[in-house]
Amino acid sequence: MAEMFYEDDADLSVIQGRKVAIIGYGSQGHAHALNLRDSGVQVVVGLRDGSSSAAKAKAEGLTVLSVADAVKQSDVVMILAPDQVQRGLYESEIQPNLKSGDALFFAHGFNIRFGYITAPEGVDVAMVAPKGPGHLVRREYVDGRGVPVLVAVEVDASGKAWDLAISYAAAIGGLRAGGIKTTFTEETETDLFGEQAVLCGGTSQLVMYGFEVLTEAGYQPEVAYFECLHELKLIVDLMIEGGIAKQRWSISDTAEFGDYVSGPRVIDPHVKENMKTILAEIKDGTFAKHFIDDQDAGAPEFKALRDKGAQHPIEKTGKELRGLMSWIKDTDSDYTEGSAA
């Protein structure tokens, strides 16, 4: 069983005694900054010149500084800009302003794990990674709950990095749900694998193939959309509540029998072999290099793939149908401009 941390394990006064710079005010950034502030922690937000996020942070009464000034004025720096910009931002604005005794925090281990960022001597390096999107991290905190977090320490220069990381995790509400002790390596590799093989890549492709097979066979796209995309949430909710067993208990015997006999034919052992290849390419850095090289070149491949995804016929059908389902809330509509999840 993994080692877990709960609120009783944390001393909130540790983080309350520090000054935290939150770099970036997007999905995670706004949630960390606001939850820390509401937990009695001194927070400043570091943003680039002309940042479109600055107004939102100021509207919350937060102090917004340049990234360099935020780092200078703080002794804990949480980097919550997108993974692909962290290395450049670190080299130009963050690293030159770090001093011995500071702590560098992350919500994902990518840049440390793949060597894009190396902290100077005397600086603690830790991670508090919520296992959910930032908007949920904030909403749960406000409602008196929390999103579970992974907690790791890569460099314990002060000898007190764990106390600090656990205190930070409590202050953003994560220990109300529970923190799992992990390492940067485990968090990074499993996070990338999960999103590529199952949660995002695997699921998106499964849904699109299902939709394609039905519509190419002449069935109505609206019906195909419900069967292959919309009902997925109902099934996943059952899995979250009671595992695959509860999902199978709730569905009809017809569906359950079909699950057993057809599931392993769709997702055949070949798929498991493909997943192992994906994992190997994550571990040896091939995926990280592919992503960062493309980003450094202005993201031509990323943008082309994003455009292609948006053209899939399932998106047009879905847009029309969701317009008829007034109970489906779509409040975070920034995604049409391509904001990452």
Q: Which residues are annotated as a binding site for Mg(2+)?
A: 191, 195, 227, 231
Closest CA to 176 of 6, 31, 37: 6
Q: In this chain, which residue has its C-beta nearest to Mg ion?
A: 191
Does 187 sit near Mg ion (CB under 5 A)? no
Q: Name residues contacting ligand NDP, limited to 6-35 (CB under 6 A).
A: 24-29
Binding range to Mg ion, per CB under 5 A, among 81-89, 195-203, 263-271, 280-288:
195-203
Q: Which does 162 bind (CB under 5 to 8 A by kind): Mg ion, ligand NDP, none?
A: none
104 binds, among ligand NDP, Mg ion, none (CB under 5 to 8 A by kind): none
CA–CA gap between residue 202 and residue 209 (Å, rounded): 11
Query: Can 230 be counted among the known catalytic residues?
Result: no
Residue 264: CB minimum distance to Mg ion, A:
19
List the one residue from 191, 228, 238, 282 that touches Mg ion (CB under 5 A): 191
Beta-carbon neighbour count of residue 56 at 10 Å? 16
The 10 Å Cβ neighbour count of residue 284 is 10
Cα(231)–Cα(283) distance, rounded to whole angstroms?
Answer: 34
Report in angstroms how near the CB of residue 174 gets to ligand NDP at its nearest. 11
Q: Are 115 and 141 in contact (CB under 8 A)?
A: no
Of 154 and 191, the one with the shorter C-beta distance to Mg ion is 191
Report the Cα–Cα distance between both ends of the chain, in Å, rounded.
29
Under DSSP, is residue 76 helix (H, G, I), strand (E, B) or coil?
Answer: strand
Q: Is the Cβ of residue 40 or residue 258 nearer to Mg ion in the bound state?
A: 258
CB under 5 to 8 A by kind: which of Mg ion, ligand NDP, none does 313 bind? none
Site string for ligand NDP, 69-108 (x = CB under 6 A): -----------xxxx-x---x-----------------xx
What number of other Cβ atoms are within 10 A of residue 172's Cβ? 30
Binders of ligand NDP in range 203-242 (CB under 6 A): none
* Shortest distance, position 147 Cβ to ligand NDP, whole Å: 9
Task: Look at residue 185 and give the partner it binds from Mg ion, ligand NDP, none, a contact being a CB closer than 5 to 8 Å depending on partner kind.
Answer: none
What span, in angstroms and rounded, lies between the C-alpha atoms of 239 and 235?
6
Residue with tokens 């281990």: 109
Q: Per rule CB under 5 A, is residue 83 in the interface with Mg ion?
A: no
Alpha helices in 179-252 (DSSP H): 184-193, 201-216, 221-225, 231-250
Contact assessment for residue 57 and residue 31, using Cβ atoms and an 8 Å cutoff: no
311, burial (CB in 10 Å: exposed 0-12, middle 13-18, buried 19+) = exposed
Given the complex with ligand NDP, which of 26 and 221 has the nearer CB atom?
26
Please say whether the beta carbons of 124 and 155 come within 8 A.
yes
CB of 51 to ligand NDP, least distance (A): 3
Judged by DSSP in three states, 315 sits in: helix
User: Of 42 and 202, which CB lies nearer to Mg ion in the complex structure?
Assistant: 202
**Closest approach of Mg ion to the CB of residue 25, in Å:** 19
List own/partner pairs for 117-121 with CB under 8 A and 24 or more apart: 117/86, 117/87, 117/90, 119/155, 120/95, 121/157
User: Should residue 134 be labelled a site residue for ligand NDP when binding is judged by CB under 6 A?
Assistant: yes
User: Which token pair is 304?
Assistant: 């082309």
Q: Residue 340 touches which of Mg ion, ligand NDP, none (CB < 5 to 8 A by kind)?
A: ligand NDP
Q: Please name which of 197, 195, 194, 219 lies closest in space to residue 314, comparing C-alpha atoms.
A: 219
Residues 30, 32, 108, 230: which is the catalytic one?
A: 108
Task: State in angstroms the smallest separation of the CB of 106 from Mg ion.
Answer: 12
Which residues belong to the active site?
A: 108
- Which residues of this protein are in contact with ligand NDP, per CB under 6 A? 24-29, 47-48, 51-53, 80-83, 85, 89, 107-108, 129-130, 133-134, 340-341
- Which residues of this protein are in contact with Mg ion, per CB under 5 A? 191, 195
